[in-house]
Amino acid sequence: MGSQVASSPVSVRCQGILFDMDGILISSIGSVERSWATWAAMRGIDNERTQQIAHGRRAVDTLAALCPELDVETELRILEDLEISDNDGLSVLPGVAALLAALPPDRWTVVTSATERLARARLIASGIPTPERLVTAGHVTHGKPHPEPFLAGAALLGFAPQACVVFEDSSSGAAAGRAAGCTVVATTFSHPVESLDAAHYLVTDLAGVSVRKDAEGLVLSLTPLTE
């Protein structure tokens, strides 16, 4: 796919917003990669294969695929401890603080493939607001790219999926949001553009995204990328 340029601004009406966490609100890719590499070395598993399939999926699903002969819950706890103890390079991504500050607390939540313990630890460490309720790996039976996480997020906010906008950075997350019936805005922060074809809109990051509330709900303003 060719280079991406900004097109004309668009307005997207919605009632609620569902944010992925890693790669959308915060960057913890260094911690993720180091933790998976450490775990893979402990278990004698090829790290390159591990890194290829881990991003954007629940760790429990990745672990089950990589080491079905081991106790997945035990391995999950080990990996979780590794990630929680490593906050080096953790950062809030561009535009996040301003966008969240403009949103009413009851109009957004986080839908992440991380465990709840890890998600809350990372959000607290980053200093951005932590929703009282969020959707994490343990709240669903099927992880992304299955639509269940975003269906659960929409239900948590009390809105129809079609009335929600999803912000995602991964191919599996974009596919999950699309399958759930949400409008999907994908950032090009961490994945190739060609892998994000399930998204309705592409943006570089959240720096160019703004929101206002009116009598009918929320109005998002963004400038999509186009080829």
Structure tokens at 12: 């997207």
pLDDT in tens, 173-200: 999 999 999 999 999 977 788 889 999 9
Average pLDDT of span 81-107: 96
Which of 20, 46, 61, 71 is catalytic? The answer is 20
pTM of the prediction? Answer: 0.89
Q: Does the annotation mark 22 as catalytic?
A: yes
Is 81 among the catalytic positions? no
Type of residue at 104 = P
pLDDT at res. 5 = 62
What CATH code is assigned to 5-28+90-226? 3.40.50.1000
Q: If you average pLDDT over residues 110-134, what whole number do you get? A: 95
pLDDT band at 52 (very low <50, low <70, confident <90, very high): confident
Region 159-180: what's the mean pLDDT?
97
Comparing CA positions, the residue from 150, 108, 151 lying closest to residue 16 is: 108
- Domain ranges in the chain are 5-28+90-226, 29-84
